[in-house]
Amino acid sequence: MREKLEQIKAEALRQIESSDALEKLNEVRVNYLGKKGELTAVLKGMKEVAPEDRPKVGQLVNETREEIERVLEESVKKMERALREARMKKEVIDVTLPAKKNNVGHRHPSTIALEEVERIFIGMGYEVVEGPEIERDYYNFEALNIPADHPAKDEQDTFYITGDILLRTQTSSTQVHEMEKGRLPIRMIAPGRVFRSDEVDATHSPSFHQIEGLVIDKNITLADLKGTLAEFAKELFGEETKVKFRPHHFPFTEPSAEMDVTCFKCGGKGCRFCKGEGWIEILGCGMVHPHVLEMSGIDPEKYSGFAFGVGLERIALLKYEIDDMRLLYENDVRFLKQF
């Protein structure tokens, strides 16, 4: 009997020794110590043992049981500790690792250009105002000397909401709103979105931005217009920039002109950038038409003024030498980040 118990114990310890998982140890417990286990089987065989030997055998069985239990318990603890340590090693956080960079956006080149233009005019004492993108025909056309049958209306065909309400084609409508307020003098710029039914290409878009300018005061002359816009061009494109005014026609100004600046790439000699011209057109301008003043309730005998309109995208494209306007609308961060 002693030998049998020794054998059971040896076998149990061997199995414990070779267990590599908690489940295996549990199997050993069931197989040796459980109700149907080997030691229980030995106890059940006690009736074959002589009565006087039974206490001794019983004690031996208990000792064996205790020994197996002790070793088993130790192994379980050891294995649990090893598992815990392995898990902690796996979950370790390296606090010295650089943190993930937060992806912040970037100011859009059109925004940068707008802020630059605003800075220049605010520096000259102008106010920045805004007008509505949805306009009445009156503000967009009629009050700017473009009556219903005027050919200029065709050129700026647009998106009509009703016969009378439309998406503005030009920020010039803000001139009328400012003049109607009846507060003089006026020195304002009005940046904003405008709409035209144009196809998208490298230089056109159905929606783009303009910056309108308007000055109305006593004794404002063409000299004020020229001086102001020449200063603007210098601040925007560089001190050496020269300007040239070409006669043009706008219904709401008289006389009207388009202003060119010397190419800031070649200084006016002519290059690929200015298409050999040496000059680049950047804005429309003129002296506010007396009839326009009158329609908005300003006496043209007492007051005069000048106005101008610049395409914002055009400024951004020129300033940053971007050759396709569509890039400004795609908002690809890889592109925007460069400015």
Q: List the interface residues with ligand DAH, window 85-104 (CB under 6 A).
A: none
Q: Which residues pair with 281 in a beta bridge?
A: 260
DSSP per-residue codes, 153-196 = HHHT---BSSSSEEE-S-TTHHHHHHHHTT-SSEEEEEEEEEE-
* By the rule CB under 6 A, 307 interacts with ligand DAH: yes
**Span interacting with ligand DAH, options 101-109, 127-135, 307-315, 328-336, rule CB under 6 A:** 307-315
38 versus 212: smaller Cβ distance to ligand DAH: 212
- Give the residue with the Cβ less far from ligand DAH, 208 or 237: 208
What DSSP assignment string belongs to 20-80? -SHHHHHHHHHHHHSTTSHHHHHHHGGGGS-GGGHHHHHHHHHHHHHHHHHHHHHHHHHHH
Q: Is the dihedral of CA 321, 325, 328, 333 positive or negative?
A: negative
- Token code pair at residue 200: 């998208």
User: From CA 253, how far away is CA 236, in angstroms rounded?
Assistant: 24
Q: Is 304 in the site for ligand DAH (CB under 6 A)?
A: no
- Specify the residue, 65 or 177, whose C-beta has the smaller distance to ligand DAH: 177
Q: Considering only 16-24, 38-46, 79-87, 281-289, which stretch makes contact with ligand DAH by CB under 6 A?
A: 281-289
Distance CA 278, CA 215 (A): 30
Task: Examine residue 172 and tell whether it contacts ligand DAH (CB under 6 A).
Answer: yes
Q: Compute the least distance from the CB of residue 171 to ligand DAH, in Å.
A: 7
Single out the residue of 68, 215, 259, 285 in contact with ligand DAH (rule: CB under 6 A).
285
Pairing verdict, β 165-167 and 127-128: unpaired
Strands 207-217, 165-167: parallel, antiparallel or unpaired by DSSP? unpaired
Place of tokens 């592109």: 335
Q: Who's near 163: CB < 8 A, 6+ residues apart? A: 137
Min. distance of Cβ 273 from ligand DAH in angstroms? 23
Q: Work out which of 32, 195, 232, 308 binds ligand DAH, going by CB under 6 A.
A: 308
Q: Which of 222, 247, 130 is nearest to 178 (CA)?
A: 130
| Nearest residue to ligand DAH on Cβ basis | 309
What's the closest the beta carbon of residue 231 comes to ligand DAH, in angstroms? 17
Tokens at 232, concatenated: 């603007």
Distance of closest approach, residue 172 Cβ to ligand DAH, in angstroms:
4
Q: Which of 39, 309, 313, 325 binds ligand DAH (CB under 6 A)?
A: 309
Helical axes 109-123 vs 312-319, angle rounded to 10°: 100
Q: Toward ligand DAH, which CB reaches closer, 11 or 198?
A: 198
Site size for ligand DAH (CB under 6 A): 11
Within residues 221-260, the interface with ligand DAH by CB under 6 A covers 250, 253
Q: How far is the CB of 115 from ligand DAH (least distance, A)?
A: 21
Q: CB-wise, 190 or 336, nearer to ligand DAH?
A: 190
Q: Residue 165 corresponds to which tokens in the numbers above? A: 């309400």
List the one residue from 170, 241, 296, 304 that touches ligand DAH (CB under 6 A): 170
Shortest Å distance, C-beta 250 to ligand DAH: 4
Binding test (CB under 6 A) with ligand DAH, winner from 191, 251, 268, 284: 284
DSSP for 276-310 reads: T-SEEEEEEEEEEPHHHHHHTT--TTT-EEEEEEE
Using DSSP, state whether 202 is helix, strand or coil: coil
Please select the residue that binds ligand DAH; options are 212, 232, 296, 312, rule is CB under 6 A: 212
Q: Which is nearer to ligand DAH, 8 or 257 (CB)?
A: 257
Among 191, 192, 268, 286, binds ligand DAH (CB under 6 A): 286
Q: Which positions lie near ligand DAH, rule CB under 6 A?
A: 170, 172, 212, 250, 253, 284-286, 307-309
